[in-house]
Structure 1
Amino acid sequence: MRKYLTAIFFGLLLCVSACYSFAIASSAPAFAKSPVSTAKAPAGELRADQFMFGYTDQTGKKILGLMGDPSQKHPSPKTLTSVLYAPGKQFSVTYVKHQASTRKSNGSQSAHNFINDEGELYRLTYASNKLNVNESVLLMTKKAFEGHTLLSFQSVQKGKFSPTTIHAIEKAKNRKVASQGLIATTDKGTQIGLVKFAQGNGKPLASLVLVDKSGMVFEDFIGNNDSQSTWRVDDGGEISAEYFNLLFASYSKAGYALGVEWYGAEGSNLSVIQQKGAKFRVVTETGRYQVY
């Protein structure tokens, strides 16, 4: 119960106004249309009961799975057999047990509090494998990405969209770009980045943008007029590509899918999102509270 209260509290503090509604530019690729309720789910459609976010301990060999919001559909812990980590790589894992929180826990979901935190405990199956310490990861079932191609990508620290792309973004959103930067680039040339738009008469706006050779896909983050907490608590009115980390990128007949970590002052917002018609839907999401 204590962990659920912490998760709910953190969830309220996370995105001030992050909106998972995507707009597709007129030049966007023709993705698969949303199925009607009576139709069979398209191949490659991801489900919440296939995934669980987690984080690693101080050895990089253990993972604590986070159940997150109790209202969401969750997988059975024993069905999760692999861990996916940035940049889209994976290791085999073995379920150990449910770990209860201790009196020494300070509520932080981080490596220094790992042995005191509550969650589903896993270990890397092979001793030769090792993850980064205190890393956010995604646990998954054996067939979670059936029908998908996991895209190879590189994180980009100082990359930028080209002037031509920025012009197209400004035309699509009818707003000037104030700042921008790349988050990752796939081996096929698809770019994922973050743009912050100049303040106009409306609310503050930033967008996660996916650009491929056919067009653009936007995920809009609509802020508020609080200069100290515009998009996230205590963000100082700033949002940039450096605040985002891509865990994976994939493509299937159902469209693109991304695993996104958004860093904030008190922790990370973690989400799996997938293309559905003209928008992206949230497959699963949670918050990882990391205030010490």
Structure 2
Amino acid sequence: MKHHVRAYRRIKIVSMSHRLRPAAVLQIVLAVSLSLAGCAGSGGDQNTEQGGESPAPATTAAATAAGGGNGGAASTPAATQTPGPAVAPVPAAVLDPAALQPVFGFAGVAGKQILVSRENNDWEEQMQALDIAIGSGGQVLKVRFESWQPGNEQSNGRELAGNLPNLSGYVFKVVGGAAKPDETYYLADSSAFNQAALVTVEPAPAEAEQLSEADPVRSSIAEAKQRQIMSAWKLASLPPGRELYLVQFVRQNQDMLFSLVLEEEGKLSFMDYPAEITGNEYSVWRVDDGGEVIPQMFSLLYAARTADGLLLGINWLGAEGINSFFLAQSGESFKELDIQYSRYTSPM
């Protein structure tokens, strides 16, 4: 403004000293007007440099916040997935030991017949409902009841494949596959026997050696019984992760003991067979067993899961015959069920 005042004073002084022509006066007025306009423009540029960009209107900032920076459009919140209900594991199939019936038979020479030996024909109605046979380590066969067979005078009394046509009993025909000749089979109604509960049986090789003294399973069994071991054999694997052993312990005076032992992930379950020598050291557990048990004396009909553990169908071969029975696991031991079968097979 001082600059403008000085210019105005100069104009006044000139006008006082000389009388100017109108055209000159007009030029001076235009020059002053242009000078004032330039001063105002210079002040506006200064404000811009000091304050930077003009702040955005409040409405624009609010729209940006609401739109999340996407052109002012409001964004949709990400969908939250609600986890579905947890899928419960399917319970393993089990067999009810209480539902088992005492029906056993043995296979003929060709494996196409199974005879359930009986003295009298008073079970035919029950026999007609049976349609499967299980044996020889869990082999399942479809069978069909054929007829009652009376015995004849040609029988030698042995329940062996070669004598099957001469024995009295119920004859079943093997419909699919073939049974193993002379093997014992358990017969059942498929609608009442849960085949899904059966466990794979893998017999140990016949030429397998004993467990070495350094074997950890052998050491665990000896420690559990607090008794030295005379012999220990693996009978079978029952996957997953289960092994069945036959163990005979060292004699203590007149006391003898052998056990069937199931090992599963370090846990041991025992079926003990104690005996006392009372004079005949060659018939301790069975007639003429020599006071010794070996793996060739034992085989499995089958193995199955129950609500309490495993069910084992066992064949025990003796000098005069074969005993078949069931062992049901309960905790760290087994108990023998009251379902048994004996075949007289003594050599002639």
Give TM-score, length-normalised by structure 2.
Answer: 0.65
The alignment covers a number of residue pairs equal to 245
**Residues 64-75 of structure 1: pairs in structure 2 closer than 5 A:** 64-66=115-117
Verify: 1:183 aligned to 2:235, yes or no: yes
Structure 1: how far apart are the matches of 2:271 and 2:230?
Answer: 17
- Aligned residues with identical type, % of pairs: 28
SS in structure 2 opposite 1:204? Answer: strand
Distance 1:48 1:263, change over 3 A: farther
Residues of 2 paired with 1:206 and 1:131: CA distance?
A: 31
Residue 148 of structure 2: which of 90, 94, 98 is its match? 98
Does residue 1:244 correspond to 2:298, yes or no? yes
1:89 partner letter: Q
2:136/2:180 contact within 8 Å kept:
no
Question: Once the 2 structures are TM-superposed, how far is the Cα of residue 248 of structure 1 from its aligned partner?
Answer: 0.8
Segment drifting more, 154-163 vs 96-105: 154-163
Provide the rounded CA distance (Å) in 2 between the counterparts of 1:271 and 1:247: 9
User: For the pair shown, which has the larger CA radius of gyration, 1 or 2?
Assistant: 2
Q: Is the contact made by 1:45 and 1:254 (CA closer than 8 Å) also made in structure 2?
A: no
Query: More displaced, 236-245 or 146-155?
Result: 146-155
Unaligned runs of 5+ in 1: 1-42
1:55 touches 1:110 (CA, 8 Å); kept in 2? yes
1:174 to 197, 210, 226: 226
Hey, what's the Cα distance between the residues in 2 that align with 1:144 and 1:67? 23
After the TM superposition, which residues 205-284 of structure 1 pair with which residues of structure 2 at under 5 Å, given as runs?
Answer: 205-225=257-277, 226-276=280-330, 278-284=333-339
Aligned partners of 1:165, 1:122: CA distance in 2, in Å? Answer: 43
| Amino acid corresponding to residue 116 of structure 2 in structure 1 | G
What is the rounded CA distance, in whole Å, between the counterparts of 1:88 and 1:224 in structure 2? 34
Quick one: distance in 1 between partners of 2:286 and 2:199? Answer: 29
2:201 maps to 1:153? yes
Are 1:141 and 2:228 an aligned pair? no
CA shift, 1:274, in A, is 1.7
- Aligned partner letter, 1:142: S
Q: Distance in 2 between matches of 1:217 and 1:103?
A: 47
Q: Which residue of 2 aligns with 1:26?
A: none
Structure 2 gap segments, 5+ residues each = 1-93
TM-superposed deviation, 1:283: 4.6
Structure 1 residue corresponding to 2:112, chosen from 46, 56, 61: 61
Which amino acid in 2 is paired with 1:288? R
- Take 1:180 and 1:231, find their aligned partners in 2: how far apart are those partners? 17
Displacement, 1:175?
0.9
Residue type at the aligned position of 1:140: A
Distance 2:196 2:308 in 1: 9
Residue matched to 1:11:
none
The equivalent of 2:245 in structure 1 is 193
Task: Give the residue type in structure 1 aligned to 2:276.
Answer: N
Residues 197, 305 of structure 2: 8 Å contact kept? yes
**Residue number among 116, 121, 127 corresponding to 2:166 in the alignment:** 116
The alignment's TM-score, normalised by the length of structure 1, stands at 0.77
SS of 1:76's equivalent in the other structure is helix
**3-state DSSP class of the match of 1:114?**
helix
| CA offsets 1:159-183 (integer angstroms, 9 cap, x no match) | 5457211111112111111011111
Q: Do the aligned partners of 1:54 and 1:63 also contact (CA within 8 Å) in 2? A: yes
1 CA distance for matches of 2:311 and 2:185?
Answer: 16
Residues 205-263 of structure 1 show CA distances to partners (whole Å, capped at 9, x for unaligned) of: 00111111151111111223121101100111121222100121111213210110011
Report what 1:80 is aligned to.
130
More helix by share: 2
Conserved? CA contact 2:210–2:231, under 8 Å: no
* Partner residue in 2 for 1:5: none
Q: 1:284 to 1:172 in 2, by over 3 A?
A: same
2:340 is aligned with 1:285: yes
Superposition deviation, residue 202 in structure 1: 5.1
Of the two structures, which has the highest relative contact order with CA contacts closer than 8 Å and spacing of 6 or more? Answer: 1
Structure having the higher strand fraction is 1
